[in-house]
Chains A and B, each alone.
Chain A
């Protein structure tokens, strides 16, 4: 076992980025992610990297666009209102097929909302967010060791697929402290040569990074088809999910990120009370780990979705399971978070209702 140190989530993520070779970071202050730009402002110059405090999130993501086109591993982070501003740039970066990492330490919304943790940007993250048919790889870490590892992986996947990768965290994950082993970075894929880099056309033809496609007339159709093929490949290759006690579970809780961490405690408590509960926790939120949900649909009797929003993640759960099972919901936005006891109560109620009515009468409600 290596040496563990106690860090806040935001710092863990920032250090993981530095370890993975991130050498450009642009950001704009917003709570609850301020430790990221603060850490980067001090840390990046130590390793020959560049930190820029941008004038806005719009500028920050566009600086990242330029840094990525220059071949640097680069990153920006923010929280919900700032991520909304970044959507323009994310669409351009996805369209131009450049790599970068974006972190969203979500807070309560809509609007200015509050600075408590939330998971209400799920749709924005996994369904597009900006304009056009594009996808961003979205990761939902649930502990700080996992945040550390996934942040390093994020840079690899960004380079491998030439696509933005988003770390979808939340205010709790960013602010909590936990011992983490800062293991050295090892690439998990064969990194392709960056043959798109704009570094002056010495000894080669000039390169262009662009998203406007006017010619031929169906050129943009072809470009979109190319992007969709890539997204399909990502769906086939990159789909991560964790399970806990699902093998014999009647009631499976589906949750991601920090919520899944709490849900795991509730599942443990339910087991102690003799309820066959389990947990399924997507690690990649896009691509959504559909096949695991399909197999859960074969073995379990009921699903409970828990999320810190009024029901976004639940739509993907239902879709993935083809509505094969009844799905109950526990969730609120605006800074609400579930405790183990609240989740346990819901599991117990579901177990009781099931015992009374039986499987046959329990139809899919949606």
Chain B
């Protein structure tokens, strides 16, 4: 049986993520992929504003921390100046699909040859559980206290579906980290998204449905159930584009 090895890409630091948070799993997957592709010394990561802002505390590669929502623009600047480097963004749903929507959509439409890891936990984690663009209809958050949808919030925004119509996009897949099988699927997708960049294929985004037990106010196991039973219904897993 294969044993879990340390990856060179992750630093030996104590995590600041809450118990049961999906970010740690996604970090591990991205790190394993960078390790396996042997690209750590060519890689430049961009950190979002959100719970993952401290990306550089964990990733043993060059990192730039961006303003809220701007990683795709910053990544564009880096990749255009250094087309031989591997550039990825790691963003939450508020960062990518609310304040940074324009940056996301236009980087995608330009076909920037970058890799985006989009962690969708249907809530604003870092600021304490406010509604995100991906918050489910009826879901309670600190700014939708009787459930999203009754006060003109609109329905949850589906990023892969939204981006799939854009000509510049190469690869879009929605995955999850709520079952072991999903974790394996997420890793396969993340690896493909990085490989696409190495092969010069263009804009690749992997959405990962992820747990936020703290701001969902659920136990860690109930949070896993929430992804499996509620989020996957609204955000079906699968490949949305593969050019």
Residues of A whose CB lies within 8 Å of any CB of B are: 23-24, 26, 50, 52, 54-56, 58-60, 62-72, 74, 88-89, 92, 198-203, 206-212
Cross-chain contact B42 with A200 (CB below 8 angstroms): yes
Judged by DSSP, the binding face of A is: mixed
Give Cα distance in the complex from A26 to B74, angstroms: 11
Least Cβ–Cβ distance between A303 and chain B, in angstroms: 41
Interface status of B40 (Cβ within 8 A of chain A): yes
Q: Apart from A62-B77, A199-B44, A212-B53, list 6 A-B contacts with CB within 8 A.
A: A52-B76, A58-B73, A70-B78, A201-B61, A206-B61, A208-B64
Select one of A62, A68, A199, A202 contacting B66, CB under 8 A: A62
Contact A59 B73 (CB under 8 A): yes
CB B83 to nearest CB in A, in angstroms, measures: 9
A52 to B46 alpha-carbon distance, docked (Å): 19
Residues of A within 8 A of B105 (CB): 55
B222 within 8 A of A: no
B1 — which chain A residues lie within 8 A by C-beta?
A: none
- Name B's interface SS: helix
Residues of A within 8 A of B106 (CB): 54-55, 59
Which 5 residue pairs are nearest across A and B when measured between Cβ atoms?
A66-B77, A62-B73, A210-B65, A63-B77, A55-B106
21 pairs, A vs B, C-beta closer than 8 Å: A52-B77, A52-B110, A56-B102, A59-B76, A59-B103, A59-B106, A62-B73, A66-B46, A67-B78, A70-B78, A70-B81, A198-B44, A199-B82, A202-B41, A206-B59, A208-B56, A208-B63, A208-B64, A209-B63, A209-B65, A211-B65
Q: Assess whether B41 is in contact with A200, with CB atoms less than 8 Å apart.
A: yes
| Contact between B66 and A65, CB atoms less than 8 A apart | yes
A66: contacting residue among B40, B61, B73, CB under 8 A: B73
Q: Are B102 and A55 in contact, with the CB atoms below 8 A?
A: yes
Bound Cα distance A200, B62 (Å): 6
C-alpha spacing A62/B41, complex, angstroms = 24
Q: How many Å from the CB of A345 to the closest CB on chain B?
A: 48
| Contacting pair A69 B64 (CB below 8 A) | yes
Flag if B78 contacts A200 (CB, 8 Å): no
B residues lining the A interface (CB < 8 Å) = 40-44, 46-47, 53-54, 56, 59-67, 70, 73-82, 85-86, 102-103, 105-106, 110
Instruction: Please indicate the chain B residues that have their CB under 8 angstroms from the CB of A70 in the complex.
Output: 44, 77-78, 81-82
CA distance A71 to B127 in the complex (A): 33
Name the B residues within 8 Å of A211 (CB-CB): 65
CB distance A62 to B67 under 8 Å? yes
Contacts of A65 in B (CB 8 A): 64, 66, 70, 73-74, 77
**A50 neighbours in B (Cβ, 8 Å):** 80-81
Q: A59-B70, A59-B106, A199-B82 are in contact. Are A210 and B47 (CB under 8 A)?
A: yes
Min C-beta distance of A150 to chain B, whole Å: 24
Q: Evaluate contact between B103 and A206: CB separation under 8 angstroms.
A: no
* Contact yes or no, A54 B65, CB < 8 A: no
Q: How far is the CA of A209 from the CA of B40 in the complex (A)?
A: 17
Q: Kindly state the separation between the CA atoms of A59 and B100 in the bound complex, as whole angstroms.
A: 9
